[in-house]
Amino acid sequence: MNTNSSNMMALAPNTSKKRETVCIFGTGDFGRALGHKMIQCGYHVVYGSRSTQISNLVPKDAEVLSHAEAAQKAAIVIIAIQRQHYNFLTPLAEILRGKVVVDISNNLKLNQYPESNAEYLAQLLPGARVVKAFNTVSAWALQSGALDASRQVFVCGDDTEAKEMVMNIVRALGLTPLDQGSLLAAQEIENYPLQLFPMWKFPIFLSLGLTAFFFFYCLALDVIYTYIYEHNNFSFFIAMTIPNRICPVVALILLGLVYLPGVLAAIIQLYRGTKYRRFPDWLDKWMLCRKQLGLIALAFASLHAVFTLASPLRSFVKWRNAKPIISQALNNKTEPLDTTNAWLSDSYLALGIIGFFFFVLVGITSLPSVSNSVNWREFRFVQSKLGYLTLILCTAHTLVYGGKWFLSPTAYKWYLPNIYMLSLVVPCAVLVVKFVLIFPCVDKPLTQIRQGWERNPKSSEQSNYIINKSAV
């Protein structure tokens, strides 16, 4: 195998080229991993340590000196020490004056301290040019070269030249530096690696809650009801039938919930006569997680599509399809084609397929690289126009699927509606309100409001700032 790929390049030692000397304070795991990597990439590394005795853990080609001696040997000092031990650096402030001091620390919790570690370090060392970097890279990734997710190194600092020096080291290690501006960005950079899909939490819990609710609803109506009243054991419905009922229902409800906050916001703006008053907090948060809601809806819709396409493979479906054929053969007759049924079945399938197609299209534009390559107008077109088209098609798909069953009393076991009827509530409400909102008499004032016009400029502005104050 050719080892000269860009992935492996960074692993290969090119010791023939000597780069500058870099000092690392601290011989912990990350300090050692970083030092090892830098030596591989041609840097000369000097460790600053309290004791020069534990040198057997440190890369062999590195020197180990006292902190003061080590710092004097290099223009760049990397602090691989935890924040609670930063105090010991104060006596070294004079030696570190003018040097590039790199803070690579992370915290255990989000916003653990009032100021970021890098800003705290800058306070301790007034003369040093503090740069924040490397905190998003793991020691394991540095050592193993498995740098798929962590190629990006966020760098920030107040001194442009110092930042450039650190970014050159980042590039030399085979990583991608991203300039995040001044040291004020350090807090954000330190919080970044602690997150685990923060924007996804609410949408995922919501969809899991809906799934659980509809699972028990279906279990009662499809398995338990059938067992009690018809003495059929359809427990195997749990594997395919019930999931394939839940998925489209959750997908349609979530898709409705993507467009509901936009409609609510329009009503609030129309009612208030201004766009300069802040929305309620729940609406703000809801609007910010619409993308996540939509993508989870797409996941459920995809599962529904595959479950449906796989249904002819099920032995239950084969058995159910064989029954009418055998009975026709036994009764010695061939039933003619029911054209109404053919229309219904074909159009509900076609609506579903085309709706799903547009849904996937909208989903593809949510990929970061695609949404970055379209402009605002194009993005709005896809997310708003194509999104509403998807909602209309999927709602129509469900309505046609229901067909004549809406009014049939046998569809209501235990007087409860089938779950696809429940799924129609949110999207139908959104579509009806949206339909009202595009009437010219409603659309015109709304457009004016969104362009900055206000019905009662004075009063609204005041209440705005009252609200903002209480929110801050």
Closer of 87 and 372 to a copy of itself (Cβ): 372
What single string gives the DSSP state of each residue in 418-469? PHHHHHTHHHHHHHHHHHHHTSHHHHHHHHHHHTT--SSHHHHHHHHHHHHH
Q: Which of 225, 276, 401, 412 is close enough to bind a copy of itself by CB under 8 A? A: 276
Q: Which of 264, 287, 421, 433 is close enough to bind a copy of itself by CB under 8 A? A: 287
What single string gives the DSSP state of each residue in 36-71? HHHHHTT-EEEEE-S-SS-GGGS-TTSEEE-HHHHH
- Interacting stretch for a copy of itself, rule CB under 8 A, among 341-349, 407-415, 417-425, 435-443? 341-349
Task: Tell the smallest beta-carbon distance from residue 68 to a copy of itself (Å).
Answer: 25
Task: Tell the smallest beta-carbon distance from residue 48 to a copy of itself (Å).
Answer: 18
Within 304-323, the residues that bind a copy of itself by CB under 8 A are 305-316, 318-319, 321-323
Q: Does 285 bind a copy of itself (CB under 8 A)?
A: yes
Q: Quick count: other Cβ atoms within 10 Å of Cβ 371?
A: 15
Nearest Cα to Cα of residue 189 among 128, 118, 288, 83: 118
- Interacting stretch for a copy of itself, rule CB under 8 A, among 209-217, 221-229, 248-256, 457-465? 457-465
Closer of 86 and 279 to a copy of itself (Cβ): 279
Q: Which of 66, 90, 123, 341 is close enough to bind a copy of itself by CB under 8 A? A: 341
Q: CA angle, 221 as apex, 216 and 222 as ends, to 5°?
A: 95
Handedness of CA 6, 191, 197, 140 (dihedral sign): positive
The Cα 399–Cα 420 span in angstroms is: 9
Q: Are strands 21-25 and 44-48 parallel, antiparallel or unpaired?
A: parallel
Task: Tell the smallest beta-carbon distance from residue 303 to a copy of itself (Å).
Answer: 6
Closer of 315 and 470 to a copy of itself (Cβ): 315
Closer of 123 and 233 to a copy of itself (Cβ): 233
Which residue matches tokens 């427990």? 235
Please work out the total of residues on this chain that contact a copy of itself, with binding judged by CB under 8 A: 154
Which tokens is 31 given? 């300090």
Q: Does 280 bind a copy of itself (CB under 8 A)?
A: no
Q: Which of 86, 134, 356, 359 is close enough to bind a copy of itself by CB under 8 A? A: 356
Within 156-185, the residues that bind a copy of itself by CB under 8 A are 160, 164, 167-168, 171-172, 179-182, 184-185
Closer of 72 and 308 to a copy of itself (Cβ): 308
Q: Does 381 bind a copy of itself (CB under 8 A)?
A: yes
Which tokens is 215 given? 């699972």
Within 212-231, the residues that bind a copy of itself by CB under 8 A are none
Q: Are 237 and 327 in contact (CB under 8 A)?
A: no
Q: Which of 75, 240, 264, 437 is close enough to bind a copy of itself by CB under 8 A? A: 240
Closer of 94 and 284 to a copy of itself (Cβ): 284
Is 441 exposed, middle or buried (CB count within 10 Å of its CB: 0-12, 13-18, 19+)?
exposed
The Cα 305–Cα 377 span in angstroms is: 31
Extended strands (E) in 110-206: 129-132, 152-157, 176-179
Q: Are 371 and 365 in contact (CB under 8 A)?
A: yes
Within 98-137, the residues that bind a copy of itself by CB under 8 A are 110-111, 136-137
Task: Tell the smallest beta-carbon distance from residue 92 to a copy of itself (Å).
Answer: 25
The 26-55 site mask, x for binding a copy of itself (CB under 8 A), equals --xx--x---------x-------------
Q: Does 379 bind a copy of itself (CB under 8 A)?
A: yes
Task: Tell the smallest beta-carbon distance from residue 10 to a copy of itself (Å).
Answer: 9
Q: Are 301 and 244 in contact (CB under 8 A)?
A: no
Q: Does 429 bind a copy of itself (CB under 8 A)?
A: no
Task: Tell the smallest beta-carbon distance from residue 427 to a copy of itself (Å).
Answer: 21
What single string gives the DSSP state of each residue in 248-303? HHHHHHHHHHHHHHHHHHHHHHHHHT-S-SPPPHHHHHHHHTHHHHHHHHHHHHHH
If you ran DSSP here, which 8-state letter would residue 407 be given? G
Q: Does 199 bind a copy of itself (CB under 8 A)?
A: yes
